[in-house]
Every structure is written in structure tokens, then in C-alpha cells.
Amino acid sequence: MNRMKPGIFILGTDTGVGKTVVSAGIALALRERGLKVGVMKPVATGCYGPDGHLISQDAVYLFEAAENEYAPLTSPSRFRHPLAPSVAAMLEKREVALDRIRDAYMELQKHYDFMIVEGIGGLLVPVAKNYFVANLIRDFKLPVVIVARASLGTINHTLLTVDGSIVRGFEIRGIIFNRIPTVNYSLAEITNPKIIHELTGIPLLGSIPEMEDIDVDSCRYGRLKEVFLERVDIDRILANTAIA
């Protein structure tokens, strides 16, 4: 692939950890700094709408947050079944068009200062035959920001994600812990971020609290921008780029 604009790949430790909200929050914070931000959900499942015109609500949430202009490029590969892309494609008797995804990214990044690409599930979710989320990261040549839960079990999931990323030579900008309870929090949620940092040495970019005023399905952002400006190390996300 040709020379890329700076950007990041939002990688989850699992499905449902809040990658879409984190991606949108970073986009809003970067736009506040005056950057023109491009967003992409290269492959999405669990979409709705008539065949041939499926809509990814995650992609819509990102698109609206970044105020982008190229909807077809934002989400070039969409499937109805809420499954791993390769499985959804098989059931729907379609293929994940990897060339179309790569071409969409190449075109989209021409129009923006900084790109945010949201993955699907975790590092080894199968996108197509012998092609995983990890292959997307390699093809796009982007550093990763890992999104993790703080709850019980996250130490194992996060360390596996860190290890798998390092083995593949990916640059990890840091970890964001999402949906931290503000009340009734557990001992695991209090201790896990610090323990993970001590075990990995990976920077902690921030901890995002549970927020009732945001909703992906209805495109509500609430205080998302303010929370990210206050709680997330945006400078480290932009590290080693000309726009830092």
C-alpha cells in the first residue's frame, strides 16, 4: 500500500467492550483540536435494512461524530448476521471483499488529517479465509489503541491482546479502559488497570466512566467529547506524527 496519513486502529480485547464509543470519543476530541478526522469501520456485522442497502449503526455513529462526507467508504463491507465476518459471509453466501476494503481506506485517507479505524471483535476474529483483524492492522500500517474492560477477566484478555500485538510487530500507543462504574464498583475494577500496566508496561491512556447520556443506536453523544478531553491522553495517541 502507498504512503498513509497518520492514524490509529482501535482494537478491542473482545466484542462489546465499547470500541465504537471510544473511536467516536477520540474523533470528537481530535476535532476539538482543529483536525479533520476520517473514520472507518472496514467490516461490520449485525447490520439492518434491505438487502443491498445494509446499514451499520456503529459506522453511522462514527460518521456523525467525525462529520465525514464519504459514507460508502466509511463502511465498505456489511453483513446482516451478528457474527464474525467470515461466518456471516458464509451464511449470506457472499464474500468479504478485501480489495474493496483496502481501496476504500486508500481513498478515504486522502481527505483527512488523521484516520481512526475501528476493528471488529478482537485481534484474531476471522474476517475472511486465512485473514484476521490482525491482517487489517498490518495492511493499514497503523499503531493500535487497545480498548478493554476493567472487570474480572480483563487481565487475561488484555495481556493476550498485548502479547499478540507485540508478536506481530504492532506499535501499541496505549490502553483505554471503558465503562468504569462510578458506583458499586468491584475490587477487580479498582485494581485491574494498575496491574495490567505493571505487567505490560503499556501506557494507560485513560479510563472512561459509564455514561447514561450516550447511546450508539440513537446517535447520542452526551458529554463524550468533554470526558475524552478530560480523561484521555490525546497527546500520546498523536505521538510521533507531524500533527502532534
pLDDT tens digits, 225-242 = 999 999 999 999 998 776
Q: What is the pLDDT of residues 100-127, one digit of tens each?
A: 999 999 999 999 999 999 999 999 999 9
According to the model, what pLDDT value does residue 166 have?
98
- Nearest 5°: phi and psi at 205? -80, -20
The mean pLDDT value for 195-221 works out to 96
- CA geometry: angle 152, 133, 137, nearest 5 deg: 110
Q: Which residue carries 473511536 as its cell?
A: 23
In this structure, are strands 126-128 and 131-132 parallel, antiparallel, or unpaired?
antiparallel
Query: Can you tell me the mean pLDDT for 202-224?
Result: 96
Catalytic residue flag (residue 41): yes
Q: What is the pLDDT of residues 14-64, one digit of tens each?
A: 999 999 999 999 999 999 999 999 999 999 999 999 988 999 999 999 999
Q: Tens digit of pLDDT for each residue in 118-176?
A: 999 999 999 999 999 999 999 999 999 999 999 999 999 999 999 999 999 999 999 99
Q: Quote the pLDDT of residue 37.
A: 97
Please name the residues in contact with 2: beta carbons below 8 A apart, sequence gap of 6 or more.
106
Statement: residue 1 has pLDDT above 50: no
Cα three-residue angle 179-29-149, rounded to 5 degrees: 20
Whether residue 244 is predicted with pLDDT greater than 70 in this model: the reply is: no
Alpha helices per DSSP H over 112-174 = 133-140, 154-167
Residues 6+ apart with CB under 8 A from 221: 24, 28, 65, 214
Task: Please pick, among 5, 19, 41, 225, the residue that the annotation labels catalytic.
Answer: 41
Whether the pLDDT of residue 85 is over 50: the answer is: yes
pTM: 0.95
Spell out the domains of the chain, with CATH numbers in brackets.
Answer: 7-153+168-235 (3.40.50.300)
Decide if pLDDT at 182 tops 80: yes
pLDDT (0 to 100) of residue 3 = 63
Instruction: Check residue 4 and give its pLDDT.
Output: 74
